[in-house]
Every structure is written in C-alpha cells, then in structure tokens.
Structure 1
Amino acid sequence: MRVSTSMMYTDFTRNINRNSSKLQKYQNQLSTLNEYSKSSDNPIEFAKIINLTDQISQNKYFNETINDAISWSNSQDGALSNASDSFHRIRQLITSSATGTQGSEEMEANKKEIMSEIEGIVDALNTNFDGRYIFGGQNTKQAPFEVVKNDKGELVEIKYHGTDSKDGQVKTNLGREISKGVTIDLITDGNLFINEKGTDADPDNLSSFFNEVITAINDGDQDALSGPLLEKVSIHSENFVNVRSQIGTLSNRLSAAKDRNEMESLNLKQVLSNKQDVDIAEKYMNFSKELISYQASLSMGTKILQTSILDYV
C-alpha cells in the first residue's frame, strides 16, 4: 500500500495530539496533586470525591457545634459550682443566725452577707458565654435573673426574664445538631432554678425562700431559721446540684460525640486521600516517559515531513 504524504501528516498529528494529551494529564496531576481535575476524567469516582468532600465539610460544621456546646456546658458547670459555694455559705449563716446567741449587729452582718451571697447566685445564673446568657432559655440576649430590692436595699423578689414553659408551647432549651439527624438540647431553662413548688397565689420557690430568710432574720425568728428555712436551703441547694449533674451527663455525651466526629472525619479524609491524592513518584515517572515519547514524536515527525521530491533527485 502506498503511504501518501497526507497519511503521514495525519498520523503525525494524531500521535502528537495523543502524546500531548497524556503529557498534559500527568502535568495537571503533578501540579494539583489530585488524581482527577474534572468530572469527565472519571465521572463515577469524581462524584464519590464530591460526596466525600461534602461529608468532611459537614463533619467540620458538626465538630464546631460540638466544641461550642462543650464550652457552653463547661461555663454552666463553673457557674453552678460558684452558686453551690454560695448556698453552702448561706446555710452556715442561717445556722449561725438560728442559735439565738447573735446580737443585733451580728444578725445585721449575717443578713448583709446572705444578701451578698444571694446576689452572687444571681450573678452566676446570669453568666454570659460568647455574648449569650446560658440560663435564659431561648432568650439569650437578656440577663435572665433580676434581684428586686426595697428602699432598704433588702431582697423582695428574684424575677426570671427567660423563656417560660408554663403554657407548654415555648421551648426553653437550646437545640444543637451534633451529627446528621442527631440533635441534643442544651439545658438552658432558668425556671429549673426557680424550682416552683407552690402556686401563683401562694408561691414556694427560690425567690420566696430568700425573702423568707431575710424576713426571719429581721424578725429574729429562730424557729423559722432553725426549722423550715434550714430544710429549704437543702432542697434548693440539692436542686442546683441535680441540674449540674444533668449538665455533666450532657457534657459527657458531647465529649463522646466529639471523639466519634473526629474519628469519622479522619476516616473520611483517608478515603478521600486514597481516591484523590496522586502517587508523586509514580506520576513523575509516567510524566517523564510521556515527555520522552512526545519529544521523540516531534523529532521523528519533523525529520520525515521535511523529505521532498528533491531528496530523490
């Protein structure tokens, strides 16, 4: 079969284009260190890579949410630790005031210190984390607790301004999604600390307890101080401990979720690396081989195609 000049040109062009394409492929892989740079390289594997990348991004978001929730819970635990210390001191002062051996000046000093400890408890419940109040329910922008005093500077009431769940319609805790389809509620309901056991007409809660303590000291009522009020301080103190225990349990769950999240992210990144990352040594060897092939094609092609009729005269 006669090989025409046109056929040689066609073969030369086809070989150059094929070698150039392979050379460009390896050059892109070495430049990006990725096996695939566009979906047409391998549609199925490229789709898997996109899906893995999305999962890793989603896991990163969940990890940030979990870390924020852990920090939130740690702030709550620290606040309730301070409140528990204040309750312990209030118990000591009530016990001291109930002995009947205290003079008027000592009783007044005890009352002032109790007021100071009450304000310390309220300050703890008004702890702000990252611009958000941790015990206001859904209302994180306003201090949830307020101490109302009379003209003498004595406690009258502790008001709660957070979201209220009395009607059963208002959500009082903050939800956080920690993994796909898994949501936890941060314990932010300040009503838990008010601990209402009475009615609107006859309240029996944290606020009424503190008010009764101040009134009993003013009246020198040792029977109330040594009896029901000493019992109530234990009830409210234990309530704070119980809520703190719930927060601790939630914190443990968050820590376990963080470990799972980080392990899952590590596994996903390993799978992504196996599918996407290139073996540099192997790709460089292939690149060098294709470069030699490309240069050889250019060299041989130019020599053959330079032949003309004059070479045969």
Structure 2
Amino acid sequence: MRVADNTVYNSFISGYETTAAKMQKTMEQLSSEKKVNSASDDPVAASKIISLNTSIAQNSMYSNTISNSVSWDSAQDSALGSISDVMLNIRSLVEEAANGTNNSTDYSSIKSEVTQDIEQIASTLNTKYGNDYVFGGENTTTAPFALSKDSNGNITGLTYSGTSQNLTREISDGTTVSLFANGNEFLTANSSNSATDTSTTTANSSTLGSYFSNLISALNSGSQSSMSNLLAETDDYRNNFVNIRSSIGSLTDRLNTASSLNTSRQTDLKTDLSNVQDVDVAEAYTQFSQEKLAYQAVLALGTKIMDTNILDYVN
C-alpha cells in the first residue's frame, strides 16, 4: 500500500516538533537547575512549589521576629543587671549613712553619690533597642522615665509616661509571646520584710519615685533611723528589679528553644522544596543526550524524505 507524501510529511513534522520540544524542556531544566520553570510544566508541582515558598517566607519572618525578640530581651537584661548593681551600691551607702558615725560632710558626700546612682538608674530605665525604648510599654518612641527635682536640685520623684502593656509577638503559626515592656512594674515592689520601724518620721515609699525622694530627704536631715528604715525598702526595690530580670531570662530561654525549632523547620521546608523543584543534573544530562539522539534521528529521516522525488516511484 502506497502512503501519500502529505501523510509522510505530516508525520515527520509531528515527530520533529515532539522531539525538539522535549529536548528544549530538558535544556531549560539544565540551565535553570529546576524541574518546573512554568506552571504548564507540571501544574501540581508548581502549586506545591508556591505553597512551600510561601511557608519558607513566613518561617523566615518568624525567625526575624524571634531574633529581634532575643535582642530586645538582651538589651533589657543588660540594663537590669546594671540597675541591680547600682541598687546594691545604694544599699551599701544607706547602710553607711545609718551607722551613726557620720557628720554633715559625710552625709553630703553620701548624698552626692546616691544622687548620681539614682540618675544612672533613671537613665538606664530609658534604655533603647534600636530606636525603641524597651521599658515604655506600647509607647516605644518617647523616653518613659524622668526624674523630678526641686529648686535646690534635690530629687523629689520619678515619673513614668509609658503604658502598662507588654508587647505581643508571633513566633510561629498560632504561637505568640509577650515581651516585657511595662515599665510601670518597676515603680512598686512587694515588701519582703515583716518588720517596719514605725517610730521613724519617714513614711513607707509607695513607689520607686517616692523611695528616691525619701532617701534624699533622709540624707538631707541626717536621720539614722530613717536610713535604717529605708534599708528594707532598698532591698525590696532591688529584688523587684532582679525578679523582673529573671522572668525576662525565662522568656529568653523559651525564645532560644523556638529559634532552634524554627531553624529545623526551615531546613525541612527547603529540603521539601528541593525535592519538588531541583533537577538531578546527572540524570537530566543523560536524558538530554538521549533526546538529542532522537532529535538527530528525526532530522536524518527528514533529510531522506525531502530528497524523495517522482523518479523514486517509477518502477
């Protein structure tokens, strides 16, 4: 049975286009080192790649949040460690002022050092991480603490202009943490001492600011009994700083654990993406070589078809 020239030609063209398309696709995969270069290559795989890339980007965002949160905690920890040391020095000075061997010059010298320590505490409470104040609650753009003084330069109080909220951060899908930021918690402290000398003229300090004010007043008056009464309060406020620092440390431990889990998940996601998207170069090159041979065979066949003329059909 004789086959029409048009049928032979169309068959050649179809085979040529098929082998050329296969070789072209493999060349693109080798060039990009990716199995899927467009959605039409493999719609199911393309959809999975998009989903995995979205998850990787989301997880990377969580990683940045965790890292920033750890740095936030670190800035706070350093600040509270410094304040704790300063409070310890104030306690030593208060104890010295209460020993009964000081004259007016000694009290003036102690007052000068205590004043410097209080100013350092106020300055440290205005610590910033980047451009944000870390102890101002949700108000991170304005210095939250300020000392008040009378006309003689004596410290009379400490004001707080921040908010009473901590900061919420999402560290993974459905998981949030509360970063400490509420500086208002520094202003009060639960007494850890049952005995209080009620015979003194110094009232119990209701806030950190009033404690500072009472301390300066006691040094101005040279009252030993007032100094003795303030020792317990000094311990209370220092312990409050220490306790808050401890809670921040616990949160840092949790964040470090979350960071490890985040890193592990990111590795898993990238491995899944690689399995779906990346080309096995050696396998693809072998396939390309086979497709090239098939392409060359089709071209060779095409050459013979094109060389056929009417004399080939004459008996």
The interval holding the TM-score normalised by the smaller chain is over 0.9
CA contact (8 A) 2:205 2:211 kept: no
* 8 Å Cα contact 2:9-2:305 kept in structure 1: no
| Matched AA of 1:91 | R
CA deviations 1:185-210 (Å, max 9, x no partner) are 10000001011679xxx960101111
Pairwise CA distance, 1:311: 4.4
Distance 1:241 1:252 in 2: 17
Counterpart for residue 200 of structure 2? none
Structure 1 Cα separation of the partners of residues 153 and 183 of structure 2: 24
Query: Separation in 2 of the partners of 1:118 and 1:192?
Result: 17
Write the mapping of 1:192-231 to structure 2, written as runs, cut at 5 A. 192-195=185-188, 204-226=206-228, 228-231=229-232
Aligned to 2:198: none
1:102 corresponds in structure 2 to 102
- Could you report, residue by residue, the CA deviation over 1:219-262 in whole angstroms, capped at 9, with x for unpaired residues? 11100101x20000000000000100110000000000000000
CA contact (8 A) 1:122 1:146 kept: yes
How many residues are matched? Answer: 302
Once residues 42 and 298 of structure 1 are traced to their aligned partners in structure 2, the CA distance between those partners, rounded to angstroms, is 28
* Distance in 2 of aligned mates of 1:196 and 1:155: 20
Q: Partner residue of 2:42?
A: 42
Q: Is the 8 A contact 1:197 1:205 kept in 2?
A: no
For structure 2, the residue ranges without an aligned partner over 5 or more in a row are: 192-203
Tell me the residue number matched to 2:170: 177
Q: Distance in 1 between matches of 2:135 and 2:147?
A: 15
| Partner secondary structure for residue 59 of structure 1 | helix
Instruction: After TM superposition, give the deviation of residue 40 of structure 1 in Å.
Output: 2.3
Equivalent residue runs for 1:30-69 within 5 Å:
30-69=30-69
Fraction of identical pairs, as percent: 42
Asked if residue 264 in structure 1 is aligned to residue 265 in structure 2, the reply is yes
Separation in 1, partners of 2:112, 2:280: 74
In the aligned structure 1, how far is the partner of 2:301 from the partner of 2:11?
12
5+ residue gaps, structure 1? 166-171
Aligned equivalents of 1:197, 1:106: Cα separation in 2: 31
Matching residue's letter, 1:45? A
Does the Cα contact within 8 Å between 1:97 and 1:225 map onto a contact in 2?
yes
Q: How does 1:13-162 map to 2 (within 5 A)?
A: 13-162=13-162
Q: Which amino acid aligns with 1:187?
A: F
* Cα distance between partner residues in 1 of 2:190 and 2:262: 41
Normalising by structure 1, we get a TM-score of 0.93
SS of 2:40's equivalent in the other structure is: helix
1:66-98 superposed Cα distances (whole Å, 9 cap, x missing partner)? 000000000000000000010000000000011
Task: Give the letter aligned to residue 305 of structure 1.
Answer: M
| Contact 1:146 1:159 survives alignment (8 Å) | yes
For residues 152 and 295 of structure 1, the distance between their equivalents in structure 2, rounded to whole angstroms, comes to 99
Question: For 1:5 and 1:37, how far apart are their aligned partners in 2?
Answer: 38
Partner Cα separation in structure 2 for residue 291 and residue 60 of structure 1: 42
> Which deviates further from its counterpart, 59-68 or 29-38?
29-38
- TM-score, normalized by length of structure 2? 0.93
